Amino acid sequence: MNAVVIILAGGEAFGVASVRFELLLSTILFLSREGMRNVLLRIDADRSAGSQVRPNTDRSNVHRRRPPVHEQRIINAALIPIGAGIAMASALYIYYVAYGPRSSASADQPHYYVSLTLYILAAWVELCVEPLFALSRSRMLFKLQAKCEGIAVAGRCTSVVLVLLVGRYPGGGIGGNPFKLAAFAVGQMAYAVLILLSYLWTMSCELEYSVWSCYLPRRVALDLEGKQVSYIGPAVKGLAVTLVGQSLLKHFLTQGDNMVMAKFATPAEMGTFAFISNYGSIPARIVFLPLEEASRAMFSKMANRGSGSASVDDAGFFGMSADDARISRHVLTTLGKLHLLIGTILLVFGTLLSPTLLSLIGQRDLAMQHTLAAYCIYLPFMGMNGFLEAFAHCVATKKQLLRISTWMSCFTVVYALFAIQMLHGLELGSAGMVIANMVNMALRISYCWRFISQWFERLGVGGGPRLSAMLPHPAVLYTCLLSGA
């Protein structure tokens, strides 16, 4: 699909849409909802007020007018990103229109500001999914989430290709396609609308009350006596401030490459980086991301089951029972072994076969070959960092989260300096950006590994996961080594 799109739209339009516009979209969505999503994982429904009121599985009562207390708390918190995202999107749109460059390689693309407007509107629509997404994750409906995501992604791909094909003819060919940038904006709008409609339909079949109740905030009791009434509670508010700040930092860490590319790279370099990122990140989207989300939900429930959403023991960390801690360590070890096994295979075969793989989709550019080879090495770093950070964020206290933020800030500075040096000093282009990302992930993995090891030691269950237990079997290593030779 990417090969078809880059042929129809051209590398420059593909780069502007995939770097500049995706950076804008991810800034709105990530800063609006990521912090609150992590907060919602900390809400312990089993110990909140009204926890005795369970969702009624009797389908004869599908017309219940209001959600249970613990789900209403989740709904109240999940509505916050909608308002925050609308305010942020409006501010960014005004900034882009008022202070954006009127003439540049990016702004000179046809329908640039129309596409910008569509991306902003798509962000608003997508944020309306938050209450339904939060409830689906609370009920661990991962299959439902994957189904909705699949429908939306298919709609986006289809919309992009159709608009590009429509614009190909009046423009006099591929190079003159007047809709080459607007097609990506239309595709993003189609994705937002479809994922919202999919969640509305599927959750209406799961919930025991009207799906429209998920968009009505209501005060709920915070104690069994009902003396304290609030929308989300002071404990959640305090944690939200910490985790939203953490999300801001995490956004700079995860989107640092796009920020540097948007500032210093040409549209052609953006196109190369975006093309390889889309292809190279397929294993991450299909395998690593679902595992990270599932493990994050499991780790959070285990931590809450041991200590409560805001309870901290005398040692200064969220508690967890010894059995749950051992299960968590086993899961971490298993995930690490899977990522290193996949990484070993990619390291050998991905780097060697990257020219062949690119030639199969009609791309023989040398810069793309170097970037894809580097990305194959980068993938296991990305996967390891994902589940290690997921565990650290689930068990860390507010004080520890602030300490993590401090270290991540230092890593961000190192990464930014290294990335600029790779891009401009050594002129390695998009391959240099991937190398800088490897350095960034290695620093984050090292810190999270140290934090997790100390956490298990203080819990007294025999230490954290061991790297030696995560390594692939020697026979696999020897086979890959011989194959590469």
User: What CA–CA distance (Å, rounded) separates 140 from 182?
Assistant: 36
How much is the average pLDDT of 471-482?
78
Which helix or strand (DSSP H or E) is residue 358 part of?
helix 351-360
Mean pLDDT of 199-227: 79
Q: How confident is the model at residue 468 (pLDDT cuts 50, 70, 90)?
A: confident
Does position 245 have pLDDT exceeding 60, yes or no? yes
Query: Which segment of 52-66, 123-137, 447-461 scores lowest on mean pLDDT?
Result: 52-66
Q: What is the mean pLDDT of residues 204-218?
A: 85
Q: Is the pLDDT of residue 334 over 80?
A: yes
Q: What is the pLDDT of residues 320-329, one digit of tens each?
A: 677 778 888 8
Per-residue pLDDT of 40-50, as tens digits, reads 776 644 444 34
Give pLDDT, residue 228: 58
Q: Is the pLDDT of residue 38 over 60?
A: yes
Nearby residues of 44 by Cβ (< 8 Å), 6 or more positions away: 304, 305, 308, 309
Q: Between 236 and 148, whose confidence is greater?
A: 148
Q: What is the pLDDT of residues 278-317, one digit of tens each?
A: 777 777 777 778 888 888 878 877 777 655 444 444 444 4
Between β-strands 229-230 and 220-221, what pairing exists: parallel, antiparallel or unpaired? antiparallel
Predicted model pTM = 0.68
Q: Give yes or no for residue 52 having a pLDDT over 50.
A: no
Q: Percentage of residues in the chain with pLDDT exceeding 90?
A: 11
Higher pLDDT, 271 or 306: 271
pLDDT of residue 123: 92
Residue-wise over 303-342: b if at least 16 C-beta within 10 A, else e?
bbebbbbbeeeeeebbbbeeebbeebbebbbbbbbbbbbb
User: What is d(CA 78, CA 232) in angstroms, rounded to the nearest whole number?
Assistant: 10
Q: Which residues have C-beta within 8 Å of that of residue 414, sequence separation ≥ 6?
A: 439, 440, 443
Question: Quick one: what percent of the chain has pLDDT higher than 70?
Answer: 79
pLDDT digits (tens, 9 = 90+) for 451-462: 888 888 887 777
Q: Check pLDDT > 60 for residue 107.
A: no
Look at residue 187 in the predicted model and tell me its pLDDT. Answer: 93
Q: In angstroms, rounded to a whole number, what is the distance separating the alpha carbons of residues 424 and 413?
A: 17
Going by pLDDT thresholds of 50, 70 and 90, the confidence category of residue 174 is very low
Quick check: 383 and 288 in contact, CB under 8 A?
yes
